[in-house]
Chain A
C-alpha cells in the first residue's frame, strides 16, 4: 500500500501506462461483483453515501446489496449476511451505546484478523511524521471471550482464553501479509512476563510462524513499553501483531498519533468473509446528521475492499484523490482542522479523480 501511494502521488505523467498501473485480468473479471452494504445508524449513512457516490463516479464494477434496518436478532437478516463474500459496514450499534457492535459480525462470520492501517498524511498536523504502521489484531478470543461470573458476592472472575489455533492463524496472517506487501518487520506485542501461559502461548505461535519467514525480521515487545515507544518514536514500527485487548489499545494509540479517528481505516478478514468499516469504532452520535463527519476513514476502508476484490487501480485512484484533496487542495473536515462539509469534501474528491 505504501509503495502504491508513493508512486501515485508523484503525479508523474510518465507513470501513465507504467507497469504498476496495468491490471492483467482473466476475461470476465470486470463483471459486476456483489457487495453487501450496511449503512447503519448515526454517521453511518453519511459516510457510506460518500463511498457510493465516489464509486459511481469511477464506474467501479461493484453492485451494492443494501441491507437497511439490519438487525442481528432477525434471522433473515443474518442469513443475508452470508450471501456475499465482502461487506461494507457504516456504523452499527444498539441504541444508547457509545461504541459499535462490530464484534457480533466477527463472531458470527469468524473474521479472525482485524487490520488497521495508520500512516502519516502530509496535509494533517500531527506530532510524528513518516509513521507507517499496520496493526494486525486477533479478533475472536482473548479478553473478549465474554466468559465471566461472580464467584462470591463482590468477587468477579473474567476469563481470558487463548488458544494455540487462534494464535497460529493470526500469526500466519500477519507474516503472510508482510510477505505479500513487501514489509520488512513484524513485532509481536504481549505481556508474557506477567501472563506467562496465555501470552506465552501467543508468543510461541508467533515464533513458530516466524521460522518459516526467515526473510522477515521478527521482534517481540511488551505492551507497556510498546505504547511508550509508540508515542516517543513510532517510525520504528512496521507490522504489529497482537492479541485482542492489546490490539484495541494499540490501534487507538496509533490512530491518535497519525491524526485521529477520522483517518483510520480498518478491515476484518476471515477465511470466507471480509468486513470493511472505519478503523476506530466510535459511533459519532454527537455529529450525526450535521454533514460534518469526515468520510476519509470510510473511503480508505473502501479502498481496502477494492484491493481485497482484486481492483487495485480504483483503490489507487481513490487514495490519490483523498490525499490530493487534503494535502494539495487543503480541503478538510472539522476534525482535522478545516471547515468543509461532508458533501463538499466528497465533491472535491470526485473532482480530484477526474484529473
Chain B
C-alpha cells in the first residue's frame, strides 16, 4: 500500500471517497509553493484530491472576470478552494479576482488569525489574535462620484443584513474555537448612524452568546492597543476598511504576510488564500517560503473537519520553524523550498 502511495505522489490520485478541493496555484512563486503544499498534504495522507483551475490574465467573461463561469460553479459545488498569489493584470477592462470571488460567491467574512510563531523573532511576542472583517460592503462598495469639480464623495454603505451575517459569524467562530472575547471595532463616535448600526447589531448578537465576553473599542484606540500591547487582545470583528487595515497590522506583528493565513468565508463555499505577492524576482528559483499558503491550507482542513491531519501538519510546521535549521531566505535562513518542505515532511 505504501509503495503504491509513494509512486503515485506526482499524479492526481483517483481515489474513492476523497473530497475534491479546488486549487488555484497562481503566478510567480505560486506554482512552487502550491507544489510544496501538495507534497506535504500527500505525505500526511490527507484524504483530499486537488482540482486545478486557472486565474487568467485577461478577462474571460463579459463582466471582465478573470475566471470562467465553470470555475465559479465548481467552487460552489466543491465548497472549498485554496488560492495562491496572482499577478494583477495591467490595464483596464477587467474585474479584480478578489472582487469576482467575493461578489459572485458571496464571501462575506474574511478571517485572518495571527499567532506569534516561535522561531520567528519579532518585537511582539505572545500575539494570538483573530481579525474577522466584513467583506462585502462598507467603504469598498465602489460608489464614488465627483459632485462638482474638486469635490468628491465616496459612499460607505452599512446594511443590517451584512452586519448581522458578520456578527453572527464572529460569535460562532469564537464559540467553535474556544475563544473568550470578541471586540467590535468601530468609529461610531464620528459615524454615528453607519458604525452605530454595526455596533447595535453586534450588541444584539452578543446576547445569544453569554459565555463570550463582548466589548467595543474605537478603531484608533484598537490600533494603539495592537501597537502597544497586543497580547491582551483575542477576536476582533469590524467593518471592511478597518478590517483591511487591522488585519495587515496584525500580520506585521507576527512577521509579515509571508507567514499569514487567510480565509474568505461564504454561506456556500470558502476560499483560503496566501495574501502575499507573487515575488517575481525569486519565482522558479526554489527559494520561496510556502508557509502562508500552508497555514491557509491547514485552516481549510480544520474547516473541513479534518482536524487530525490539520494538527499534525501544523505541529510539524511550527516545529521546523522553531528549530530554525531549515528556514527559507525571507526568514534569514539558507534553505530552499524543497529543503523546507522535506523538513516538515520528516517531522510528520
Q: Per a CB cutoff under 8 Å, which of B156, B160, B190, B226 touches A159?
A: B156
Q: Which of chain B's residues have a CB closer than 8 A to the CB of A154?
A: 159-161, 197
Q: Which of chain A's residues have a CB closer than 8 A to the CB of B247?
A: 224
Say yes or no for B283: interface residue by CB 8 A criterion: no
Nearest B residue to A233 via CB reads: B252
Say yes or no for A198: interface residue by CB 8 A criterion: yes
Say yes or no for A229: interface residue by CB 8 A criterion: yes
Q: Which of chain B's residues have a CB closer than 8 A to the CB of A248?
A: 187, 219-220
Decide: A225 and B193 in contact? CB cutoff 8 A: no
Decide: B140 and A143 in contact? CB cutoff 8 A: no
Say yes or no for B191: interface residue by CB 8 A criterion: yes
Say yes or no for B60: interface residue by CB 8 A criterion: no
Roughly how many angstroms separate A228 CA and B259 CA in the complex, as a whole number? Answer: 13
Q: Which of chain B's residues have a CB closer than 8 A to the CB of A230?
A: 227, 249, 252
Q: A156-B158, A158-B156, A252-B220 are in contact. Are A228 and B228 (CB under 8 A)?
A: no
Q: Which of chain A's residues have a CB closer than 8 A to the CB of B191?
A: 143, 148, 158
Say yes or no for A317: interface residue by CB 8 A criterion: no
Total A-B pairs in contact (CB under 8 Å)?
A: 164
Q: Which of chain A's residues have a CB closer than 8 A to the CB of B219?
A: 248-249
Among A162-170, A284-292, A305-313, the stretch that binds chain B is: A162-170
| Among A128, A201, A232, residue most surrounded by chain B Cβ atoms (within 10 Å) | A232
Decide: A252 and B145 in contact? CB cutoff 8 A: no
Chain B 140-179 interface mask (CB, 8 Å, partner A; 1/0): 1010111001111111111111000000000000000000
Decide: A155 and B157 in contact? CB cutoff 8 A: yes
CB distance from A72 to the nearest CB of B (A): 16
Q: Per a CB cutoff under 8 Å, which of A224, A245, A256 touches B228?
A: A256
Roughly how many angstroms separate A184 CA and B159 CA in the complex, as a whole number? Answer: 44
Q: Which of chain B's residues have a CB closer than 8 A to the CB of A163?
A: 150-152
Decide: A228 and B251 in contact? CB cutoff 8 A: yes
Chain B 216-249 interface mask (CB, 8 Å, partner A; 1/0): 0011110111111000000000000100111111
| Among B123, B149, B227, residue most surrounded by chain A Cβ atoms (within 10 Å) | B227
CB distance from B26 to the nearest CB of A (A): 19
Chain A 139-155 interface mask (CB, 8 Å, partner B; 1/0): 00001101011100111
Count residues of chain A with CB under 8 A from any CB of chain B: 57
Roughly how many angstroms separate A139 CA and B94 CA in the complex, as a whole number? Answer: 36
Q: Per a CB cutoff under 8 Å, which of B153, B187, B227 touches A256?
A: B227
Say yes or no for B294: interface residue by CB 8 A criterion: no
Decide: B193 and A197 in contact? CB cutoff 8 A: no
Roughly how many angstroms separate A248 CA and B185 CA in the complex, as a whole number? Answer: 14
CB distance from A206 to the nearest CB of B (A): 15
Decide: B150 and A197 in contact? CB cutoff 8 A: no
Decide: B256 and A228 in contact? CB cutoff 8 A: yes
Q: Per a CB cutoff under 8 Å, which of B140, B159, B161, B192 touches A194?
A: B140
Q: Which of chain B's residues have a CB closer than 8 A to the CB of A128?
A: 123
Roughly how many angstroms separate A82 CA and B149 CA in the complex, as a whole number? Answer: 32
Say yes or no for A326: interface residue by CB 8 A criterion: no
Say yes or no for A300: interface residue by CB 8 A criterion: no
In chain A, positions 229-261 with a C-beta closer than 8 Å to chain B are 229-232, 245-246, 248-257, 260-261
Say yes or no for B189: interface residue by CB 8 A criterion: yes
Say yes or no for A160: interface residue by CB 8 A criterion: yes
CB distance from A240 to the nearest CB of B (A): 14
CB distance from A41 to the nearest CB of B (A): 17
Nearest A residue to B255 via CB reads: A232
Roughly how many angstroms separate A164 CA and B157 CA in the complex, as a whole number? Answer: 23
Q: Per a CB cutoff under 8 Å, which of A144, A158, A164 touches B150?
A: A164
Decide: A249 and B223 in contact? CB cutoff 8 A: yes
Decide: B190 and A162 in contact? CB cutoff 8 A: no
Nearest A residue to B257 via CB reads: A228
Decide: B227 and A280 in contact? CB cutoff 8 A: no
Roughly how many angstroms separate A148 CA and B220 CA in the complex, as a whole number? Answer: 21
Nearest A residue to B251 via CB reads: A228
Q: Per a CB cutoff under 8 Å, which of B150, B225, B248 touches A228?
A: B248
Say yes or no for B139: interface residue by CB 8 A criterion: yes
Decide: A282 and B190 in contact? CB cutoff 8 A: no
Q: Which of chain B's residues have a CB closer than 8 A to the CB of A224?
A: 244-245, 247-249
Q: Which of chain A's residues have a CB closer than 8 A to the CB of B140?
A: 194
Roughly how many angstroms separate A158 CA and B240 CA in the complex, as a whole number? Answer: 14
Say yes or no for A18: interface residue by CB 8 A criterion: no
Decide: A99 and B227 in contact? CB cutoff 8 A: no
Roughly how many angstroms separate A196 CA and B154 CA in the complex, as a whole number? Answer: 9
Say yes or no for A191: interface residue by CB 8 A criterion: yes
CB distance from B198 to the nearest CB of A (A): 9
In chain A, positions 80-134 with a C-beta closer than 8 Å to chain B are 97-99, 103, 127-128
Decide: B194 and A148 in contact? CB cutoff 8 A: yes
Nearest B residue to A227 via CB reads: B249
Q: A148-B193, A260-B228 are in contact. Are A165 and B156 (CB under 8 A)?
A: no
Identify 9 new A-B residue pairs, CB closer than 8 A, beyond the known A156-B157, A197-B145, A229-B252. Answer: A148-B191, A155-B159, A157-B194, A158-B194, A161-B151, A163-B150, A196-B144, A246-B245, A257-B228
* Closest 9 A/B residue pairs (Cβ): A256-B227, A154-B160, A228-B252, A127-B123, A256-B228, A158-B194, A224-B248, A164-B150, A252-B224
Seen from chain B, the residues whose Cβ lies within 8 Å of a Cβ on chain A are: 122-124, 139-140, 142, 144-146, 149-161, 187, 189-195, 197, 218-221, 223-228, 241, 244-249, 251-253, 256-257
20 A-B contacts, Cβ less than 8 Å apart?
A: A98-B189, A98-B218, A143-B187, A144-B190, A157-B158, A158-B155, A159-B155, A160-B156, A162-B153, A163-B152, A197-B145, A197-B146, A197-B152, A227-B246, A228-B248, A230-B227, A231-B123, A255-B224, A257-B228, A260-B228
